[in-house]
Structure 1
Amino acid sequence: MAVNVLLLRTAGTNCDRELAHAFTLAGATVEAIHINKLLADPAVLGKYQILGFPGGFSYGDDIASGKILANQLIHHLKAPLRQFIDDGKLAIGICNGFQVLVKSGILPGPMPQLTPEDWHPTTLTYNTCGSFQDRWVTCKSVSSKCAWLKPGQLLDLPVAHGEGRFVPRDAAVLEALKANDQIAFQYVNAKTGEATQEFPANPNGSVEAIAGICDVTGRVLGLMPHPERVSEAVNHPGYTRGNGAPHGLAMFSTAVAYVQEHAAVAV
Structure 2
Amino acid sequence: MEAPLRILVVDDRADVAQPLLDHLSARGHLAAYQASARGALTAITNKRTAGNPFDLVIASFALTDGAGLALAKALRDEKESLAIALYAPFGNLARGDFDEAQRLDCRFLDMPIAMSRVDQLLGEAAAHGKGPGGGSRPPKDQPFFGTGRIVRHGGSTAATEGETSRALKRLPDSSAPGTQPTTTSTFARPDSKPTIPPATISQPGTGSKRWTPPGGSPTLTPTQGTGRHSNQLSTTARIRRGVTGRLVNNDLQRLTDRTEKPHQVTCAACSKEFAVERRAQAFTSICVHCGQLNRIEPG
- Shorter-chain TM range is 0.3 to 0.5
Computing the radius of gyration from Cα coordinates, the structure with the larger value is: 2
Determine which structure has the larger helix proportion and give its number. Answer: 1
TM-score w.r.t. length of structure 2: 0.33
Higher RCO, 1 or 2 (CA under 8 Å, sep at least 6)?
Answer: 1
